[in-house]
């Protein structure tokens, strides 16, 4: 059965607005007696998350309408630009950069008091969107590709991170360093030119441009959160820290395509990263219908299966004090990258988010809010 929750508007809530969490470290701001931290409390997700000291975020697509902007302000306390701040979105080619969309996003989010996760400075996928489309050509033609790439990275990061210093709290400095189809290093244009040194180089450049920014590496695991790719991710983080890299956190994207992760396995991955002294965030949560086929084929309603899956993710994060945020990859079910990307478009609409296409909270929203309020019962 599809549930709808009628939540009161922010202004009508009894819950006191609480101060923003402005570092990556979780802080419970008003203690266990906060009115939002009670079973069935009539608070928004944002208010409950603030009371718990964990960020509840949404990725915001380009050109989002006013109703959706308002929904973000009501339900979330943190935002990521789905595309506008990627290197290739700003600079489709390396020398043709336009910060207009990224500026507009940061101006809006910052003036609204939202925490901003910057995404993403260096990403080997999606030439022309993830990174400038001419990087391949530039480095292939260079006598010394390593030096050329190092200075392209420095120039981009210096310009971008310094521009938003004091407004963007954390950056996905490196997105998806590991191979999309495997578990070793992704042999991207960056890796080809510089080997894995491009990661240290980018982290150093970001730290120099804004010493206060929290610097993350963001990665995804397709299904086995305890498998080789996950282990290689932890090993990479450990190695970077041993080398003294300015690294503060790791993002686990949590796009679910195949199945819902085993709670213990996901919990162990989050714990292993936190044990390195890093913050952890689930940075890009959504789920294709393909991940829930077992449940829906067995007769479970899609939205109820999603509520359970979101619950697994939220519980794993909440069990680890250094897990500082949960971000969904989109605002509401009217727009998801899954619906325009093969093979997930075949089952569109995937309807994978916490708000339905009418911006009403779904069962998954209520499940996450309840876990934030009182934990697993």
Catalytic residue positions, numbered: 176, 284
Closest CA to 367 of 322, 303, 319, 320: 303
Q: How far apart, in whole angstroms, are the C-alpha atoms of residue 115 and residue 74?
A: 14
Cα gap 200→157, rounded to integer Å: 13
- Near ligand G3I by CB under 6 A: residue from 130, 249, 325, 363: 130
Q: How far is the CB of 176 from ligand G3I (least distance, A)?
A: 7
Q: How far apart are CA 279 and CA 54, in angstroms?
A: 11
Whether cis (ω within 30° of 0) applies to the bond prior to 280 is no
The neighbour count for residue 294, using CB atoms within 10 Å, is: 11
For ligand G3I, which is the closer residue by CB, 7 or 64? 64
Handedness of CA 128, 337, 105, 368 (dihedral sign): negative
Two tokens, residue 114: 């939202």
Cβ atoms of residues 325 and 54 within 8 Å: yes
- x/- track of binding to ligand G3I for residues 203-242 (CB under 6 A): ----------------------------------------
Residue 55 or 86 having the CB closest to ligand G3I: 86
Q: What is the 3-class SS of 186-227, one letter each residue? A: CCCHHHHHHCCHHHHHHHHHHHHHCCCCEEEEEECCCCCCCC
Task: Say if CB 132 and CB 92 are below 8 A apart.
Answer: yes
Residue 186 in contact with ligand G3I, rule: CB under 6 A? no
251 is a site residue for ligand G3I (CB under 6 A): no
Size of the site for ligand G3I (CB under 6 A): 11
| Separation of alpha carbons 74 and 47, rounded Å | 9
To ligand G3I, the closest distance from the beta carbon of 1 in angstroms equals 30
Q: Residues of 53-88 as b/e, b for ≥16 C-beta within 10 angstroms?
A: bbbbbbbbbeebeeebbebbbbbbbbbbbbbbbbbb
CA pair distance 102, 84, nearest whole angstrom? 5
Interface residue with ligand G3I among 48, 170, 253, 328 (CB under 6 A) is 253
User: From the list 34, 47, 77, 82, which residue makes contact with ligand G3I (rule: CB under 6 A)?
Assistant: 82
Least distance (Å) between residue 362 CB and ligand G3I: 20
Q: According to CB under 6 A, which residues from 296 to 355 bind ligand G3I?
A: 337
Query: Minimum Å distance from CB 337 to ligand G3I?
Result: 3
Q: Which is nearer to ligand G3I, 57 or 130 (CB)?
A: 130
Answer whether 226's CB lies under 8 Å from 269's CB.
yes
For position 271 contacting ligand G3I by CB under 6 A, the verdict is no
Interface residue with ligand G3I, options 23, 126, 183, 196 (CB under 6 A) = 126
Which C-beta is closer to ligand G3I: that of 18 or that of 80? 80
H or E element: which one contains 170?
strand 170-175
Give me the 27-66 binding string for ligand G3I, x by CB under 6 A, dash otherwise.
-----------------------------------x----
Least distance from ligand G3I to the Cβ atom of residue 202, Å: 16
Query: Which of the stretches 21-29, 81-89, 187-195, 355-363 binds ligand G3I when contact is defined by CB under 6 A?
Result: 81-89
Q: Write the CB contacts of 108 (distance below 8 Å, at least 6 apart in sequence).
A: 69
- The one segment of 125-133, 242-250, 301-309, 343-351 that binds ligand G3I by CB under 6 A: 125-133
Which one of residues 44, 48, 74, 83 is an interface residue with ligand G3I (CB under 6 A)? 83
Which residues lie near ligand G3I (CB under 6 A)? 62, 82-83, 86, 126, 129-130, 175, 253, 284, 337
């Amino acid at each position: 059965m599809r549930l709808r929750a009628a939540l009161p508007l922010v202004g009508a809530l009894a819950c006191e607005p609480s101060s923003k969490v402005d570092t990556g470290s979780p802080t419970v701001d008003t203690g266990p007696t906060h009115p939002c931290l009670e079973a069935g409390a009539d608070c928004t997700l944002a208010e409950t998350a603030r009371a718990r000291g964990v960020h509840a975020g949404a990725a915001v697509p380009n050109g989002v309408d006013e109703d959706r902007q308002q929904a973000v302000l009501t339900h979330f306390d943190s935002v990521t630009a789905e595309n506008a701040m990627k290197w290739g979105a700003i600079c489709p080619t390396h020398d043709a950069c336009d910060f207009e969309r990224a500026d507009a996003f940061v101006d809006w989010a910052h003036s609204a008091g939202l925490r901003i996760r910057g995404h993403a400075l260096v990403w080997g996928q999606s030439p022309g969107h993830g990174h400038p489309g001419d990087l391949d050509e530039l480095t292939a033609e260079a006598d010394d590709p390593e030096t050329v790439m190092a200075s392209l990275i420095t120039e981009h990061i210096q310009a971008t991170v310094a521009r938003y210093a004091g407004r963007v709290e954390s950056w996905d400095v490196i997105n998806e360093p590991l191979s999309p189809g495997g578990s070793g290093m992704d042999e991207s244009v960056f890796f080809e030119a510089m080997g894995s040194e491009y990661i240290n180089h980018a982290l150093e450049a970001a730290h120099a441009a804004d010493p206060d920014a929290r610097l993350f590496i963001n990665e995804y695991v397709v299904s086995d959160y305890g498998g080789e790719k996950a282990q290689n991710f932890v090993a990479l983080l450990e190695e970077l820290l041993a080398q003294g890299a300015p690294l503060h956190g790791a993002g686990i994207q949590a796009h679910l395509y195949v199945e819902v992760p085993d709670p213990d396995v996901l919990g162990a991955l989050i714990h292993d990263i936190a044990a390195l002294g890093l913050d952890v965030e689930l940075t890009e949560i959504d789920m294709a219908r393909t991940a829930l086929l077992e449940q829906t084929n067995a007769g479970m309603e899609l939205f109820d299966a999603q509520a359970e899956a979101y619950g697994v993710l939220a519980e794993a994060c909440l069990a680890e004090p250094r897990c500082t945020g949960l971000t969904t990859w989109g605002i509401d079910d009217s727009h998801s990258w899954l619906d325009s990307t093969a093979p997930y478009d075949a089952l569109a609409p995937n309807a994978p988010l916490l708000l339905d296409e009418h911006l009403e909270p779904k069962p998954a929203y209520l499940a996450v809010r309840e876990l934030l309020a009182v934990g697993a019962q």
